[in-house]
Amino acid sequence: MVHALFLNCTLKYDDTESNTKALIEKAQGLMEDRGASTAYEHVLSYDIGFGVTSEQVHDGDEWPELLEQITAADILVIGSPIWFGVRSSVAQLVIERLDGTYEDGDPETGQYPLYNTVGACIVTGNEDGAHDVAANTLFNLSHLGCTIPPNADCYWVGDAGPGASYIEADGDKHLYTNRTARLLAENTIAMAEQLRENPLKTNLNEIEEEARQVSE
Amino acid sequence: MVHALFLNCTLKYDDTESNTKALIEKAQGLMEDRGASTAYEHVLSYDIGFGVTSEQVHDGDEWPELLEQITAADILVIGSPIWFGVRSSVAQLVIERLDGTYEDGDPETGQYPLYNTVGACIVTGNEDGAHDVAANTLFNLSHLGCTIPPNADCYWVGDAGPGASYIEADGDKHLYTNRTARLLAENTIAMAEQLRENPLKTNLNEIEEEARQVSE
Amino acid sequence: MVHALFLNCTLKYDDTESNTKALIEKAQGLMEDRGASTAYEHVLSYDIGFGVTSEQVHDGDEWPELLEQITAADILVIGSPIWFGVRSSVAQLVIERLDGTYEDGDPETGQYPLYNTVGACIVTGNEDGAHDVAANTLFNLSHLGCTIPPNADCYWVGDAGPGASYIEADGDKHLYTNRTARLLAENTIAMAEQLRENPLKTNLNEIEEEARQVSE
Amino acid sequence: MVHALFLNCTLKYDDTESNTKALIEKAQGLMEDRGASTAYEHVLSYDIGFGVTSEQVHDGDEWPELLEQITAADILVIGSPIWFGVRSSVAQLVIERLDGTYEDGDPETGQYPLYNTVGACIVTGNEDGAHDVAANTLFNLSHLGCTIPPNADCYWVGDAGPGASYIEADGDKHLYTNRTARLLAENTIAMAEQLRENPLKTNLNEIEEEARQVSE
């Protein structure tokens, strides 16, 4: 059974109601229906400092605790609202902290902790920006070692300008969004199962050594 | 043996010298060393019209010919220069024409022609913009059905402002770029071999039907 | 009386019906109501080659003709559809060709032909991507010498996924889009009048010379 | 005398050494040479909560204090490092909090507090991403009411991959960056002086009312 972790990067400190949470829950349910185990974390329920390391940046920094869950997952799903056309500062903060994992590679293979993890992205906004959020987030995850299966993004946005968000707009009845949620669930699970059975095996240390010889 | 197709989306009509071609050739060589067969196409050597369909948009439109090669490949690598911080108009034209493949799905499964293809990206510029080119291009490919393995982008850029490009700047001695070329080669081949043995099998028609029931 | 040029960068070769044209016409009408003269050009009615120079890239290349109109305008409005989350290949082609204007500066001041021109952007898509199109396009125009007044973008997009575009969706009744069209019209005209009376006067040659002394 | 505020959106809590600060100081000095008064704020020296309002989001939230300085400036310069190809989470947080100013408009004209402010952007990174940071940031500022003069961005980035940043790489000797710093200083001051003498006067309330009539 593969395990999926959903991170809600909403700007709301209170985890009671969040549009991003609502869409995450839909995808989460679909993954469980397909036999995956899942977990949900509301990032702002943690005290996480700004920085680019895996270690605490201040006393009480709870990043290491969240990171442990991230590296234990087979599927990592970043959920973010759109603000000013791009991902939230909280989502950006999470990605920045993951920079530290570049240093946490396996000594023998050099490979990053997220290698052989599957990456995905869930986005909500009242309008425009989902492509930018998903493109950057999935690309960053691929740099961090993740594999991105087809159609690994699920989003809802309304039409141009201010307006109702996912919950208020009955986004859970939106055909396209429901279709993307199903695609995300199926493709991430299929890929995670495949990577569990046949993990990718590139040795970063050897690559580095070979590249060095050519470059000199 | 898996097969990789490299598309050079340079703005130069003449295929003699192109920085993007030079970096493509490096990656191409590394793939052949690892046992893949490869092909290279210079997009502007074809007469390709603007549009969003797989059919000819005018008499003599050679898109169908190029598309045949694209759908036959196990690994599709889009090579693009950076202009004004983003991918070239030629790269954008190629992506736009691929919109037509959404309509060319398998009748039974509904799946797109690029499903179970591996996507990758090669970028050169005299400065800044490689992340934007790669993020958007890989994301678009993932929407079109491709799987994006870890570190599927290889790029060279110089420091801020105008200046020498890849060839003139001896980019082939650049450690980081050489490292990313090796990573791209290894990860795309490993993923393509895996998808050949165990193709992903999501049925888009069933997904569509289920999503419709929830949405009504 | 200030003069505004609207470029329609649709992928349609035929200028009869285009969503981007429809929204352009609305903004164009609002500008004329406010006393500006306007012109409209459908880029694909011209034969424009790929490249980055102001000179013809092949016999019959009509870029110089279009460029003449661009440099004569007080307000330059790029109209683009969204394809795959970003601006059209035709819009990108226009921006790439404007790269040539960096070389066409006034010998004494070094300033680019678009200095003291006002830049603006109009975007239509059936969903998502307007912020990316406008942000990149306005930024590129600012590099080319344009001034970007407040709220210089006007767009219409529908909700997530495929669906009706501007015309079919009665976008001309969309409050937010109408508001942005009015803002674009007012702010671009006010800024153009201001720059006509008090042009910005930075001397690029002097800047270059001073910067060189510091850099050595 | 016009007044420029520089915000350093580095991820470093300690304001002692920061590449972004170093480049800000260069631009700041050039502005003072040209007769502007300037101020510098290190955002993480403030306790600023996540959110989208001008009011405190928790006890001790110091956003209102920073906002007062922002709205008092004639020129607002956002300084940001690049992380994962985009602006820092701290820069994004600042932009998100500015969302609150949409509600703080002048009752009579409806205009936002940043109307007639000049926007600019300073970016440093060890590689790639400056265009994305500047394009999004300047675009967001233009939505918030700012005018963006020509060449309002100044940046330094090194070549592809990890490596030395601005200070270590002697970025202060980099010709292109020095040129952009001068352009930013001259153009922002010239535009700010112009907007002080002849402020733009669009009445948002009237625009809203007119747009409503058309939309109904």
d(Cα C135, Cα C132) in Å, to the nearest integer? 5
Q: Exposed, middle or buried: residue D215 (CB in 10 Å: 0-12, 13-18, 19+)?
A: middle
Report the candidate in B140, C160, C157 with the shortest Cα–Cα distance to residue A175: C160
Contact D194 C190 (CB under 8 A): no
Q: What is the DSSP letter of C102?
A: G
| Angle, CA B141 vertex, CA B151 and CA B103 arms, to 5° | 160
Q: What is the mean pLDDT of residues A163-177?
A: 94
Contact A85 D139 (CB under 8 A): yes
Residue D68 CA: distances (Å) to CA of A62, B56, B58, D38, D114 = 32, 59, 59, 15, 11
Shortest CA distance from D182: residue in chain C: C207
Chains near D, with 3+ CB pairs < 8 A? A, B, C
How confident is the model at residue D216, as a pLDDT? 86
> pLDDT averaged over chain A?
96
Residue B138 CA: distances (Å) to CA of A87, B186, B198, C45 = 18, 17, 22, 32
Contact D149 C147 (CB under 8 A): yes
φ/ψ of D187, rounded to 5, equals: -70, -40
Tokens standing for residue B156 = 């060279």
- The enclosing H or E element of D190 equals helix D175-197
Tokens standing for residue B130 = 């490689």
d(Cα D158, Cα C10) in Å, to the nearest integer? 36
List chain D residues with CB under 8 Å of C147.
Answer: 147-150, 191
Report the candidate in D126, D185, D175 with the shortest Cα–Cα distance to residue D153: D185
List chain D residues with CB under 8 Å of A9.
Answer: none
DSSP D49-67: -SSS-SS-SSTT--HHHHH
Residue owning tokens 């082939």: B172
DSSP chain B: --EEEEEE--S-S--S--HHHHHHHHHHHHHHHTT-EEEEEEGGGS---SSS-SS-SSTT--HHHHHHHHHH-SEEEEEEEEETTEE-HHHHHHHHHHGGGGGS--TTT---TTTT-EEEEEEEESSS-HHHHHHHHHHHHHHTT-BB-TT-EEEEE-SSSS---TTTTTGGG-HHHHHHHHHHHHHHHHHHHHHHHS-----HHHHHHHHHHHH-
Which of D136, D139, D198 is opposite residue C194, by nearest beta carbon?
D198
> pLDDT averaged over chain C?
96
Shortest CA distance from A136: residue in chain B: B135
Shortest CA distance from A91: residue in chain D: D89
Residue owning tokens 């409005």: C77
DSSP C156-206: EE-SSSS---TTTTTGGG-HHHHHHHHHHHHHHHHHHHHHHHS-----HHH
Contact C179 D208 (CB under 8 A): yes
- Which residues have a Cβ under 8 Å from the Cβ of B109 and sit 6 or more positions away? B201, B202, B203, B204, B205
Contact A58 D13 (CB under 8 A): yes
List chain D residues with CB under 8 Å of A99.
Answer: 83-84
d(Cα C82, Cα C89) in Å, to the nearest integer? 10
Tokens standing for residue C129 = 């991507």
Question: Coil, strand or helix: which one is D7?
Answer: strand
d(Cα A130, Cα A151) in Å, to the nearest integer? 13
Provide the shortest C-alpha distance from residue B84 to chain C (in Å): 6
Tell me the pairing of strands B75-83 and B118-125.
parallel
User: How many interface pairs between A and D have CB atoms less than 8 angstroms apart?
Assistant: 74
Provide the shortest C-alpha distance from residue B35 to chain C (in Å): 33
List chain C residues with CB under 8 Å of B87.
Answer: 92
Residue C158 CA: distances (Å) to CA of A126, A169, B75 = 11, 13, 34
D38-65: burial string, b at 16+ Cβ within 10 Å, e else: bebbbbbeeebbbbbbbebbeeebebee
Chains near B, with 3+ CB pairs < 8 A? A, C, D
DSSP A157-200: E-SSSS---TTTTTGGG-HHHHHHHHHHHHHHHHHHHHHHHS--
Q: What is the mean pLDDT of residues C186-208?
A: 96
Tell me the pairing of strands D3-8 and C153-157.
unpaired
φ/ψ of A37, rounded to 5, equals: -90, 150
Tell me the pairing of strands B118-125 and B153-157.
parallel
For CA atoms D172, D178, D182, D187, give the dihedral sign: negative
Shortest CA distance from A130: residue in chain B: B139
Provide the shortest C-alpha distance from residue B59 to chain A (in Å): 34
Chains near C, with 3+ CB pairs < 8 A? A, B, D
Contact A99 D84 (CB under 8 A): yes
Q: Which of B14, B43, B92, B212 to mutate to test the interface with C (most CBs of C within 10 A)?
A: B92
pLDDT tens-place string over residues A85-118: 999 999 999 999 999 999 998 999 999 999 999 9
Which of D140, D142, D211 is opposite residue C152, by nearest beta carbon?
D142
Contact B96 C136 (CB under 8 A): no
| Angle, CA A171 vertex, CA A170 and CA A176 arms, to 5° | 140
Alpha-carbon Rg of chain D, whole angstroms?
Answer: 18
How confident is the model at residue B216, as a pLDDT? 86
- Which residues have a Cβ under 8 Å from the Cβ of A206 and sit 6 or more positions away? none
**pLDDT tens string for chain B (216 positions)?**
999 999 999 999 999 899 999 999 999 999 999 999 999 999 999 999 999 999 999 999 999 999 999 999 999 999 999 999 999 999 999 999 999 999 998 999 999 999 999 999 999 999 999 999 999 999 999 999 999 999 999 999 999 999 999 999 999 999 999 999 999 999 999 999 999 999 999 999 999 999 999 998
Q: Which residue type is seen at D51?
A: G
pLDDT tens-place string over residues A21-35: 999 999 999 999 999
Question: Coil, strand or helix: which one is A31?
Answer: helix
Contact C157 A162 (CB under 8 A): no
d(Cα C3, Cα C73) in Å, to the nearest integer? 5
Contact C150 D142 (CB under 8 A): yes
Helix spans in A10-168 (H)? 19-33, 63-72, 89-98, 130-143
Provide the shortest C-alpha distance from residue D43 to chain A (in Å): 12
| Angle, CA A127 vertex, CA A122 and CA A130 arms, to 5° | 35
Residue B30 CA: distances (Å) to CA of A117, B4, B23, B189 = 25, 11, 11, 11
Contact B85 D131 (CB under 8 A): yes
List chain C residues with CB under 8 Å of B96.
Answer: 11, 83-84, 88-89
d(Cα D166, Cα A173) in Å, to the nearest integer? 50
d(Cα A202, Cα A205) in Å, to the nearest integer? 9
d(Cα D114, Cα D70) in Å, to the nearest integer? 8
Q: Which residue type is seen at D212?
A: R
List chain A residues with CB under 8 Å of B99.
Answer: none
Q: Which residue type is seen at A168?
A: E
Contact C174 A160 (CB under 8 A): yes
Strand partners, C42: C8
Q: Which of B86, B99, B212, B215 to mutate to test the interface with C (most CBs of C within 10 A)?
A: B86
Contact C123, C80 (CB under 8 A): yes
pLDDT tens-place string over residues C38-91: 999 999 999 999 999 999 999 999 999 999 999 999 999 999 999 999 999 999
Contact A95 D85 (CB under 8 A): no
C216 has a pLDDT exceeding 90: no
Residues comprising chain A, all counted: 216
Provide the shortest C-alpha distance from residue B5 to chain C (in Å): 21
Shortest CA distance from C137: residue in chain B: B84
Query: End-to-end CA distance of chain D, in Å?
Result: 46
Residue owning tokens 């403030």: D46
Which of D50, D85, D143 is opposite residue A90, by nearest beta carbon?
D50
| pLDDT band, very low/low/confident/very high, at A83 (cuts 50, 70, 90) | very high
Query: End-to-end CA distance of chain A, in Å?
Result: 46
List chain D residues with CB under 8 Å of C216.
Answer: 173
